[in-house]
Amino acid sequence: MELPRTPSFRLEGRRALVTGAGRGIGLALAAALAEAGAEVTLAARSANEIEEGAKAIRAAGGEAQAAVLDVSDLAAVEEFFLSRPAFHVLVNNAGTNRPKPMTEVSEGDYDAVLDLNLKASFFVAQACVKRMLGEGVKGSLIHIGSQMGHVGGPNRSLYCSSKWAIEGMNKAFALDLASHGIRSNTIAPTFIETSMTAPFLADPGFKASVLRKIKLGRAGTVEDLMGAVLYLASDASNMVTGTSLIVDGGWTAD
């Protein structure tokens, strides 16, 4: 009897781009893809961080390069993709948050969060896909959403708006691109321990409220997301598109 074989999680011969890759989640996802054999480009506005990240990945035996890119500059985004071969994997990770009650949200706050979390993600994906289509490249778009794209949260009206929108965008992308062999999915994490969340999780009351929601009893770590991105980038998820991989410790199960 010939047994079925598990599709490969390896990524040799594939080019991957991770935005917002200077630290935290983005750097971890870039490291995971490189460890699996992908040639990874780390993109962010800060040259020092992404250069250090790429250097660390190379020191660990991976292939990585840094590319300074402001994803909110759409002209720069278009030029970035036109100047490079098509990527097989895009990780749309750059994002921000301005938590405050909805009554205190300013137009500036709205523009800052929605322009980066949604608008930039849309047009980065568009530019990436145009290059993929032009070269006949099949692949995987992975958008870093949030559990807050599936539930609401106090003082998170802007963040929830952007992340719920990402989920709708993702499903529509999946339908538009399926015939071209390009898949689109999201990863929706819970609170992950990073420099961005550290000030919030340092508040004992806030942390306690978070841990009451996370049924596994702890905040997430960047390592908790590395297997998820590898799965969605690889042949192991060849039949997966238009969905969300929720990595929330049970938050949304309640």
Identify the pLDDT of residue 252. Answer: 97
10 Å Cβ neighbour count for 240? Answer: 15
Average pLDDT, the chain: 97
Q: Provide the domain count of the chain.
A: 1
Closest CA to 188 of 144, 132, 225: 144
Identify the pLDDT of residue 195. Answer: 86
Identify the pLDDT of residue 13. Answer: 98
Q: Does 43 map to a domain?
A: yes
Q: Does 63 map to a domain?
A: yes
Percent of the chain residues topping a pLDDT of 90? 97
In angstroms, rounded to a whole number, what is the distance separating the alpha carbons of residues 56 and 235?
A: 26
Name the pTM for this structure: 0.97
Q: Does 90 map to a domain?
A: yes
pLDDT tens digit string along 200-209? 899 999 999 9
Q: Does 8 map to a domain?
A: no
Determine the structural domain holding residue 47 and report its residue range. 15-253
Identify the pLDDT of residue 254. Answer: 87
> 3-state SS of 67-104?
EECCCCCHHHHHHHHHCCCCCCEEEECCCCCCCECHHH
In angstroms, rounded to a whole number, what is the distance separating the alpha carbons of residues 206 and 225?
A: 22
Q: Does 36 map to a domain?
A: yes
pLDDT tens digit string along 200-237? 899 999 999 999 999 999 999 999 999 999 999 999 99
Identify the pLDDT of residue 200. Answer: 87
Judged by DSSP in three states, 144 sits in strand
Selecting among 87, 159, 164, 173, the annotated active-site residue is: 159
In angstroms, rounded to a whole number, what is the distance separating the alpha carbons of residues 205 and 213?
A: 13
In angstroms, rounded to a whole number, what is the distance separating the alpha carbons of residues 18 and 75?
A: 18
Q: Does 171 map to a domain?
A: yes
Q: Does 3 map to a domain?
A: no
Whether residue 41 contacts residue 15, with contact meaning beta carbons closer than 8 Å, is answered with yes
* Radius of gyration, alpha carbons of the chain: 18
- Which stretches does DSSP call E strand in 12-55? 15-19, 39-44
Whether residue 210 contacts residue 111, with contact meaning beta carbons closer than 8 Å, is answered with no
- Given a cut of 90, whether residue 22 has pLDDT beyond it is yes
10 Å Cβ neighbour count for 23? Answer: 18
Could you give the C-alpha distances from 201 to 49, 54, 173, 193, 217, in angstroms and in order?
23, 28, 34, 8, 14
Whether residue 88 contacts residue 137, with contact meaning beta carbons closer than 8 Å, is answered with yes
Q: Does 1 map to a domain?
A: no
159 in active site: yes
In angstroms, rounded to a whole number, what is the distance separating the alpha carbons of residues 226 and 8?
A: 16
Q: What CATH code is carried by the domain that includes residue 113? A: 3.40.50.720
pLDDT tens digit string along 50-76? 999 999 999 999 999 999 999 999 999
